Amino acid sequence: MSRPDLVTVTPARSAPPPQSRRTGRIPVALLLPAALGLVFLVLPLAGLLIRTPWSTLPQRLTEPGVLTALRLSVQAATLATLLCLVLGVPLAWLLARIDFPGRRLVRALVTVPLVLPPVVGGVALLLVFGRRGILGGWLDSAFGFTLPFTTAGVVLAEAFVAMPFLVIAVEGALRGADVRYEEAAATLGAGRWTTFTHVTLPLVAPGIAAGAVLCWARALGEFGATITFAGNFPGRTQTMPLAVYLALETDLEAAIVLSLVLLTVSVAILASLRDRWLGSS
């Protein structure tokens, strides 16, 4: 039995299998667009760096609002990712392993937040979870609890926008995984739940990790749904993207500094996580 090929769904694994070392020149038809693609992605970052006010950077970084917004951003994105893992992994499993009527439709519905403009997503969330919303009205009358304008609201908005990234990545990993391991577990008497926790999950762990990273990154940069659903208040709902947007109204340099902070922190966190996975796998 061959080891299931996880490479296609796991960016976290980078060790190239031996057969990938091919001979011959790299075709220009691939190299040129690849280089252009890279330049296209990196150039805006260079634009930010060029306009960065390096001389006043230390003062700007130590402004109290920056740290508050950064902390809130990281916390909310992490909580949103956890929420997405708890709900999204089972959903991905259902889509990948269970053949039920309407599966195609469900799969299409999962991607709705991807195509929905985030601001529209925010309005939609208000209509459901707002204090006059279908569920939110009940929450308010039964528990006196409302989600808009709270940090929980930020988490909810980010999870809504980011969950498709996780579900799609995990479903891809599950489809790429060899089901014979699960079948073997079943023949040895393992129930579906035991098979899921002891065989399936470890098998697709790198795929889940990759999905979680995408999900976290998307949540961290979320703007539209957050400001629409959770509003903007420093320390409670003002995440970094919101702070950047408002800084842009009056002070371009402040906006650039805030963007750089967000970029640096997210890249640092992602890189350190990636190293950890590479070390363990």
Partner 1 sequence: MTARRLALSAAMMMVALTGCGSGETTDQRPQGGAVTGAVTVFAAASLTESFTRIGEDFETANPGARVTFSFAGSSALAHQINQGAPADVFASASPANMTTVVDAGNGDGNPSVFVRNQLVIAVPDGNPGRVSGLADLTPPDVKVALCAEQVPCGAAAVKALDAAGTELIPVTLEQDVKAALSKVRLDEVDAALVYRSDVRAADEEVDGIEFPESAGAVNDYPIVVLKNAPNGSAARAFVEHVLSGPGQAVLAAAGFQAP
Can you list the pairs that 239-244 forms with residues at least 24 positions away whose Cβ atoms lie under 8 Å? Answer: 239/69, 239/72, 239/73, 239/76, 239/154, 240/69, 240/70, 240/73, 241/73, 242/69, 243/65, 243/66, 243/69
* Residue 50 touching partner 1 (CB under 8 A): yes
Cβ distance to partner 1 smaller for residue 138 or 183: 138
| 249 sits near partner 1 (criterion: CB under 8 A) | yes
Among 121, 148, 176, 221, binds partner 1 (CB under 8 A): 148
Q: Which is nearer to partner 1, 212 or 243 (CB)?
A: 243
Regarding 65 and contact with partner 1 (CB under 8 A), the answer is: no
181 counts as binding partner 1 under rule CB under 8 A:
no
**What x/- string results for residues 77 through 96 when contact with partner 1 is judged by CB under 8 A?**
--------------------
For partner 1, the binding residue among 20, 62, 250, 272 (CB under 8 A) is: 250
* Count of residues that bind partner 1 according to CB under 8 A: 28
- The least distance separating partner 1 from the CB of residue 218, rounded to whole angstroms, comes to 20
Using the rule CB under 8 A, is 246 a contact of partner 1?
A: yes
Of the two residues 174 and 256, which places its CB atom closer to partner 1 in the complex?
256
Per-residue string for binding with partner 1, 116-135, x by CB under 8 A?
-------x--xx--xxx---
Contact letters for partner 1, residues 201-230 (x by CB under 8 A): --------------------------xx-x
Q: Of the two residues 149 and 181, which places its CB atom closer to partner 1 in the complex?
A: 149
For partner 1, the binding residue among 233, 267, 268, 271 (CB under 8 A) is 233
Sign of CA dihedral 163, 168, 173, 179: positive
Contacting residues toward partner 1, per CB under 8 A: 47, 50-51, 123, 126-127, 130-132, 148-149, 227-228, 230-234, 237-238, 242, 245-250, 252
